[in-house]
Structure 1
C-alpha cells in the first residue's frame, strides 16, 4: 500500500485546490416564484413572452394571483445569486468558494432564501433590514419563453456603509480573485459596485459585469459607464448588446462589430485586456479579445428537451466563472458556460442536478 501513497497524493494535487471565498458576487437576492402560465395571464399584466421588467403599480396583484392560480415553485434567485450558485455547483469543492452579498427582509421569504443559499453551499452574507420585505421575482413561463417581473423590495435597500464597508465583510471582498456583478445592481448601489471594481483593478484581480437588460443601458447609462473602465470581462445577450451599441452611438447592428467596439472602450488596468462575451440563445456565442472576434457554437439541445430558458444566461456566466477562478483559458470558460446553460434549460427554474458532468 505504501508504494501507492505518493501516487495518490500526486493525483490529489492535479486540479488546483481553490480557497474559500475565491469568487465574489453582489446583487439583488430575490425569491423566484416560477409557474407555467397562459397567454391570457401575460396579456392581463401587459407582459411580453420573453422579457425582464421591474414590477410597477399595475403588477401589484400579479404575485398573489400567480400563487393562487398556478402551480408554483420557489427558488433562490436574482441574476447574480443564480450565477454564483451555478459556479459553486460546477466547482463542487470547496464549499463556500463563492461569496454573495445582497439585501433581504427579516421575514419568511428571507429565511427561505438563507436556507436555499446554504443548500447551494454559497457563503451568503445578507444585509438584513425590516423596512422592506424580501424581494421576489415572478417567472411566468410560456412554452420555452419566460417573462420575468421583479419586485426588488428589500433588494433595493442595500447600503454600502452598513454592510460592504464593515471590516468583517470587506475582508471577504479582499479574499476574492474574481468578482461578478450583474448590471441590475446599478439600480441599487453604484457606489458599492465602484468600491469593489476599483479594488479589483488596483490589485490586478478580475472584475466582471453583465449588461443584464436593455433598460440598464438606457436608463442607467451614467453609472454603467463609470464602472466600465474597470470591467475585465463583460457579459450580455444579443438584445442587450444592440441596446448598449445604440446608447453608445456605435452605428452598427452587427454583433461582432459591437463586441469589438465594446472591447476597445477605455480601461484602467492595462495589465488585463478586456474580454467581451455575448450570448445569442441557440445561436453562436461571440467573444471579442484585443486581437480577434471568435464565435463558439452552443451545445445543441433537442428543442423538445427544453423545459425553461429562465436562468440560461445566468447559468452560462456561472459556468464561465467556475473555470475563470482556476485561471483556465477563456475557450474553456466558454465551454463550461455552454455546458451549464445546457443543463439549466432542461429543468424548471435555475436548478441543477446534484453534480455536474463536465470534464
Structure 2
C-alpha cells in the first residue's frame, strides 16, 4: 500500500436511492423525515428490498467518510487518500471499490466473511431534501485488529490528516480513539464530522471521549442544534454553539480547534479557539466566528442534495491538506458541495473541473 496524505475512516455503504413522487411515498410509508439520518429499526428493514423491487432505483457508492475521501481526492494528486472501513465479501463491496478506484481513493477495507453483507443506505429524495435510513451490516463489525495489520499500520503511520465520520462512533469508538490519540500525540490533524443529529443526542458520551483529540470539527446546523440541546445550551445561537465547541477541552492544547458549521444554502459559520495559530492561517483581522455566504444556485441547478455536506467536508479537508488558507478551504468546500447537488447521488463532475 502507498503512504497517503489523508486517511478517512467510517462506514462503507451502498446508497439505494429513490426520488420524486416515489420518494414521497416511501417517506410516508416508513415514517421517515426529510433531511434526517437514522439507523434502521426493525420497522424500516423491508425498505431496502421494497425500493429495489418496486421503485426506479439508483445505486451510488456512499458512506459519509467514503464520500468525503472521494471529495478530497478530487483536488489532490493520485494516491493521496485512503479509506478504512468494514465490508462484506460481496458484489456491493466490489461496487464501492470500483468507485474508489475510479476516483483515486485507496480502499483499505476490512473484509468480513459470508454471511456478512456490505452495509446499505436507503436514500429517499423529496424535492431538495434527503432522508437517510442505514443498515450497517458488516460496517459495524469493524475490529480494531485491522489497524494493527502491517498494511493499515503503515497507512496510519504515514498520514498527516485523519478524517472520522460521526456515524462510526455508534460502534467503533475504540478504533476512533486509537487513531485520534496516536495522531494527536504526533502532531497530526484530526478531523471529525458530527454526521447526524442523533450522534450528539444519543452518543454524547462517545463524542465527548473523542472530542479532546479533534483539531477540526465539521457539522451542519441541525447537528449543532442537537449538540446544544444535549449540552444544555438549547437557547444558544449557532455562532455561540460553534464557539463553545471550539473552546472545549483539548488533549493537545498547543493546537487550536477549528469548528465549521454549514447550513445548506445559507452561510457557513467558522469558529476557532485561537485564530492566531489555528489551522487554515486565519487572518488576525478576521471576526471570530466568521460567516461565509454561500453562492446562490437556482432551483434547476439543484438535482439531489445527498452527499453535499460530505463533499463540502472533503473539499475543505483536501484544501487544508494542500496548505490553503481558511477562506480558500471554505470556498473549495462550497464549490464541491454545489457540484454535488447538480448530480444524482454523492458524485462529482468528471472529467475533473479545476476548483483550486
The equivalent residue for 1:48 is 33
The equivalent residue for 1:5 is none
1:157-191 per-residue CA deviation (whole Å, 9 max, x = no partner) reads 00002x11212211101111111001100012101
Q: Which sections of structure 1, spanning at least 5 residues, go unmatched?
A: 1-18
Q: Is the 8 A contact 1:204 1:271 kept in 2?
A: no
TM-score (norm 1): 0.91
> Match for 2:81 among 98, 106, 110?
98
Q: Which sections of structure 2, spanning at least 5 residues, go unmatched?
A: 276-287
Alpha-carbon deviation of 1:40? Answer: 2.3
SS of residue paired to 2:85: strand
Alpha-carbon deviation of 1:112? Answer: 1.6
The equivalent residue for 1:140 is 124
TM-score (norm 2): 0.92
> Match for 1:231 among 199, 207, 214?
214
The equivalent residue for 1:314 is 310
> Match for 1:64 among 25, 38, 49?
49
Q: Superposed, which structure 2 residues align to 1:297-312 within 5 Å?
A: 297-312=293-308
Q: Superposed, which structure 2 residues align to 1:317-328 within 5 Å?
A: 317-328=313-324
SS of residue paired to 1:104: strand
Compare CA radii of gyration and give the structure with the larger one: 1
> Match for 1:164 among 112, 125, 147?
147
Q: Which 4+ runs in 1 deviate beyond 6 A?
A: none
Alpha-carbon deviation of 1:251? Answer: 4.6
> Match for 2:171 among 188, 192, 199?
188
Q: Which moved more, 1:42-51 or 1:229-238?
A: 42-51
SS of residue paired to 1:252: coil
The equivalent residue for 1:16 is none
Distance 2:248 2:319 in 1: 25
Distance 2:355 2:307 in 1: 19
> Match for 1:356 among 330, 347, 353?
353
Between the two proteins, the alignment pairs up a number of residues equal to 338
Distance 2:90 2:66 in 1: 19
Q: Which moved more, 1:33-42 or 1:319-328?
A: 33-42
The equivalent residue for 1:149 is 133
SS of residue paired to 2:262: strand
Give the RMSD, CA atoms, in angstroms.
1.3
Alpha-carbon deviation of 1:304? Answer: 2.0
Alpha-carbon deviation of 1:273? Answer: 0.6
Q: Is the 8 A contact 1:252 1:258 kept in 2?
A: no
Distance 2:296 2:70 in 1: 24
